[in-house]
Chain A
């Protein structure tokens, strides 16, 4: 075993290479590896999150669809009852209008009857006086007997 200056030379070489690896090789590689690990971990977490989000979104969509369907059903019901209501209302209105028209017609008829009665009554007096004149043979003073005649007419 020839131990000599080779030991010193190799020691220095050893120190230089270890130092170079420490400063110029190891940090760069280990950082790149850690960064990638983090990126992969983040990617996986994001994928998981996205899957969960999707699930939630699907749930929400289902809920909304159900809600919308219910709302639509409600609206249709409402519209239907409203339509029924409107038909009922219209029927009622029509009935009332009919009643009213009937009433009006009846009133008018009554009026006409009354007017005819009035006219008749007026003519009755004249006819009665004329009849009486024929019977009595003399003129009857209308003004003197008007009270009697009116009474007679009113009795009609």
Chain B
């Protein structure tokens, strides 16, 4: 809730600051009390809220799916199993269409990414002030509940996938094959430096686009919710307009969070397929 004491800029700033635990410039460890303090901590800090909500949503995924998996029967499935199987079947189909190699990790990874990212994105649909207000009542001053609006979260997942791309590329093509693919393509061999540059950029662009796309979409969505929430402080008329806008944006956002989660999962599978692809021409 935007309190009367906060001006709009402060309100927005407040909503975009993570609960940061880290080392202050003076060497002591503790929570940052402002965005400036958090920035001053540099790398020696951790976003407690992002981590908590990320692990929380991950556990929700794990326990729901694990419960379904443990009770999974080949007979008549119950409602939970039905629901879970719907998602599993969807991911399995999608993975099969894109990824034609034998690697048992890819489909479960796609499932984890799809459901987990969807759940993290879903936190965006919880009205922006509910949880932060509750947290501040408990003495916690910053609470950003959508982990996928934190670039740390999205980029670390993208980089983990990047590591897997390189690992599987080398495993499937050999180090020489992988480097050859980077150096002898798309131009003839004597233009290897240009090839290396082009392919290097392509390679680096994969994790960057993957992580930043999700971050950008969710951050922008969150920002619009925050801006709409500001209207509730402007009296009855602005409040009603804000309510309508929030409802409309939330409806639209349901589409965005699902789409972003799906894109993240599918691109992961596509990158994995490219890593496994052994092209005879080179």
Q: List the interface of chain A (C-beta within 8 A of B).
A: 1-11, 13-15, 17-18, 20-22, 24-26, 28-33, 35-36, 39
A3 and B43 in contact, given A26-B107, A36-B74, A39-B74 (Cβ under 8 angstroms):
yes
Find chain A residues with CB under 8 A from B73 CB.
32
Which residues of chain A come closer than 8 Å to B159, judged between CB atoms?
Answer: 7, 11
Assuming the A-B contacts A10-B51, A29-B88, A32-B72, are A22 and B41 also in contact, with contact meaning beta carbons closer than 8 angstroms in the complex?
A: no
Contact of B152 among A7, A22, A36, A39 (CB under 8 A): A7
Q: Distance (Å) between the CB of B126 and the closest chain A CB?
A: 20
B74 x A28 contact (CB < 8 A): no
Sample (9) of A-B pairs whose CB atoms are under 8 Å apart: A5-B44, A6-B50, A9-B51, A13-B51, A21-B109, A32-B73, A33-B85, A33-B88, A33-B89
Decide: A29 and B156 in contact? CB cutoff 8 A: no
Q: Which residues of B contact A3 (CB under 8 A)?
A: 43, 151-152, 155
Residues on A with C-beta less than 8 A from B109 are: 18, 21-22
| Number of A-B residue pairs having CB atoms within 8 Å of each other in the complex | 131
Check if B42 sits within 8 Å of A1, measured CB to CB.
no
Residue-wise, chain B 79-110 has the 8 Å CB interface mask toward A (1 for contact) of 00100110011001000000000001101110
Contacting residues, chain B, for A14 (C-beta < 8 A): 156-157, 160
Give Cα A6 to B66, complex, Å. Answer: 26
A10 to chain B, nearest CB (A): 4
Residue B46 CB within 8 A of the other chain: yes
**Number of B residues with CB within 8 Å of any CB on chain A:** 54
Chain A, residue nearest B20 (CB): A2
Contact residue among B22, B50, B55, B108 (Cβ-Cβ distance under 8 Å from A26): B108
Chain A residues positioned under 8 Å from B62 (CB to CB): 17, 20-21, 25
Q: Which residue of A is nearest B70, CB measured?
A: A28
Q: Which residues of A contact B150 (CB under 8 A)?
A: 6
In the complex, residue of chain A having the shortest beta-carbon distance to the beta carbon of B21: A5
Q: Which residue of A lies closest to B113 (CB)?
A: A18
CB distance from B47 to the nearest CB of A (A): 4
On whether the beta carbons of B45 and A10 are closer than 8 Å, the reply is no
Nearest CB of chain B from residue A8's CB, rounded to whole Å: 7
- Verify B112–A17 contact, CB threshold 8 A: yes
With A14-B156, A18-B108, A22-B104: A4-B42 Cβ-Cβ less than 8 Å: yes
- The answer to whether B160 and A2 have CB atoms under 8 Å apart is no
CB distance from A22 to the nearest CB of B (A): 4
Q: Closest residue of chain B to A17, judged by CB?
A: B58
Q: Among B45, B74, B151, which residue has its beta carbon within 8 angstroms of that of A1?
A: B151
Other-chain residue from B20, B54, B66, B113 in contact with A24 (beta carbon distance below 8 A): B66
Enumerate the 7 nearest inter-chain pairs by beta-carbon distance, A residue then B residue, closest first: A35-B74, A6-B152, A26-B108, A32-B72, A28-B69, A7-B156, A10-B156
| Chain A residues positioned under 8 Å from B214 (CB to CB) | none
Smallest Cβ-Cβ distance to A16: which chain B residue: B58
Point out which of B18, B108, B111, B151 has the most chain A C-beta atoms below 10 A from its C-beta.
Answer: B108
Q: CA A22 – CA B91 in complex, angstroms?
A: 13
Assembled-state Cα–Cα distance A15/B116 (Å) = 12
With A10-B54, A10-B156, A39-B74 already in contact, the answer to whether A29 and B45 are too (CB < 8 A) is: no
Q: Are B74 and A22 in contact (CB under 8 A)?
A: no
What's the Cα separation between A8 and B157 when bound, in Å? Answer: 10
Interchain CB contact (< 8 A) of B46 among A1, A9, A11, A18: A9
A21 to B43, Cβ gap below 8 A?
Answer: no
* Contact A21 B44, CB 8 Å, known A13-B51, A30-B88: no
Count chain B CB atoms within 10 A of each CB in A17, A22, A31 and give the residue with the most.
A17
Contact partner of A4 among B41, B85, B108, B113, CB < 8 A?
A: B41
Q: Chain A residues near B44: list those with CB within 8 A.
A: 4-5
Are B74's CB and A32's CB within 8 A? yes
Q: Are B69 and A29 in contact (CB under 8 A)?
A: yes
Kindly identify, within residues 6 to 34 of chain B, every residue whose CB is under 8 Å from any CB belonging to chain A: 18, 20, 22
Q: How far is the CA of A140 from the CA of B44 in the complex (A)?
A: 188
